[in-house]
Amino acid sequence: MSVDHDGENLGSIAVRFGAASIVVVGDVIADEFVDGEIARVSREAPVMILKYQSTRTVPGGGGNAAANVAALGGAVTLVSRVGRDRAGRAVTLALREMGVDTSATTSVRGEATPTKTRIHAGLPHSIHQQVIRIDREPEPPDSETAQAIARRLDQALGRAGVCVVSDYGYGVTDGSVAEVIASAPRRGVRTIVDSRYRLRAFAGATAATPNEAELEEVVGAPIRSDSDVVSAAVRVAGELGLEAMLVTRGSRGILLVEPGREPLSLPIVGSAQAVDVTGAGDTVIATFALALASGASYADAARLANHAGGLVVMKRGTATVTNAELLDAVREQR
């Protein structure tokens, strides 16, 4: 496998992010973080009692991908659905404040917003750690909601350079929406897919950004070595007709595969000891998509995504990377 080299000046690509227009379609998740200080052990059961400190709700899933596009300077329209509940209102307001266009996001009465509640606990003056996560998972959209999402996506694609598909398994990208997604490449809109469980459903997309575990599930065989991950990525990219596949590998960095080219292996940027990997894949796909929309090659888009990923895993919780942070990181590496 080849290793990283400078390519085009990465900073000059990141500067152009402000002229890029991205559509993100997929599952918006409310990432809720509840913090508490360990007070004592309960007499009712061998569990900690936490003294409540704070609750914070931020956009996760496709919402986090859209938030990262906005933080990096790109124009972004989010096509999704949320419930008309507290979590849905909180993430919609947060997205708007971040500069995300939520006019194409459908608010559904009587439906719950997918929510992941992470309980963080710690002793006084110590770093709080996640001790448990509680997930609230709604049913997939009904046919009426799906058709509304499909219509809004069809309209949004008319003004987009790249479409990011953020499929977390809650049903937004199924059915009639999937048909519109499949039409995007024929309309000249590159489609970049991040799918948690069903990457094969997006055959014909332009590119995909699975992590190593997701790729392993797609091929149905364990990945034990560098050569295994290359073989799996080449095989799946060919079977799905992708122009490129970007595989995130945690502390082992990123692998880019383009059929007909030598694979490109990029070592991790920054510390190998991540603070928090929550939502890191959303940052990677947002950066990769913006770079492609800004005229970068797949290799240079991968390099920028690798820098952004290295930055975001050093932040706690679901987080974003700004254009200024990315520029600083790229310049430090030159």
The predicted pLDDT at position 251 comes to 85
Residue 36: strand, helix, or coil: strand
Count of C-beta atoms within a 10 Å radius of residue 115 = 23
Q: Which residues are known catalytic residues?
A: 282
The predicted pLDDT at position 3 comes to 44
The predicted pLDDT at position 40 comes to 94
Count of C-beta atoms within a 10 Å radius of residue 206 = 21
CA dihedral 267, 272, 276, 277 (to 10 degrees): 30
In a domain, 122, yes or no: no
pLDDT in tens, 208-236: 999 999 999 999 999 999 999 999 999 99
In a domain, 127, yes or no: no
In a domain, 43, yes or no: no
162: pLDDT strictly greater than 80: yes
What's the whole-number mean pLDDT along residues 34-50?
95
In a domain, 68, yes or no: yes
Q: In what order do the strands lie in the sheet with 115-122?
A: 48-61, 28-41, 115-122, 129-136
What's the whole-number mean pLDDT along residues 140-156?
95
List the structure tokens of 313: 């895993």
Can you list the alpha helix ranges (DSSP code H) found in 241-277?
none
Per the rule left: phi > 0, alpha: psi between -120 and 50, beta: everything else, 175 is left
pLDDT in tens, 277-318: 878 999 999 999 999 999 999 999 999 999 999 999 888 888
pLDDT in tens, 99-130: 999 999 999 999 999 999 999 999 988 888 89
In a domain, 130, yes or no: no
Helix (H) / strand (E) element for 214: namely helix 212-219
The predicted pLDDT at position 127 comes to 85
What are the residues whose beta carbons fall under 8 Å from the beta carbon of 273, sequence distance 6 or more? Answer: none
Q: For the chain, what percent of residues have pLDDT higher than 70? A: 96
pLDDT confidence of 1, banded at 50, 70, 90? very low
The predicted pLDDT at position 13 comes to 96
The predicted pLDDT at position 254 comes to 95
Which one has a higher pLDDT value, 66 or 6? 66
Enter the pTM of the model.
0.92
**The residue to which tokens 């009587």 are assigned:** 110
Mean pLDDT (the chain) is: 93
In a domain, 251, yes or no: yes
The predicted pLDDT at position 334 comes to 63
The predicted pLDDT at position 2 comes to 43
Q: Are strands 264-266 and 254-257 parallel, antiparallel or unpaired?
A: antiparallel
pLDDT confidence of 156, banded at 50, 70, 90? very high
The predicted pLDDT at position 272 comes to 65
Quote the number of domains for the chain. 1
Q: How far apart are the first and last CA of the chain?
A: 22
List the structure tokens of 60: 């996760």
In a domain, 50, yes or no: no
Residue at 303: amino acid letter? R
4: pLDDT strictly greater than 80: no
What's the whole-number mean pLDDT along residues 47-64?
95
What are the residues whose beta carbons fall under 8 Å from the beta carbon of 34, sequence distance 6 or more? Answer: 52, 54, 55, 117, 118, 119, 120
Which one has a higher pLDDT value, 155 or 5? 155
Domain harbouring 79, CATH code: 3.40.1190.20
Q: Are 296 and 290 in contact (CB under 8 A)?
A: no
Question: How far apart (Å, rounded) are the C-alpha atoms in residues 204 and 237?
Answer: 10
Name the nearest CA neighbour of 171 among 206, 215, 137.
Answer: 137
* Angle at which helices 323-333 and 298-312 cross, to 10°: 110
pLDDT confidence of 87, banded at 50, 70, 90? very high
In a domain, 290, yes or no: yes
Range of the domain at 182: 10-30+59-113+139-333
What's the whole-number mean pLDDT along residues 84-107?
96
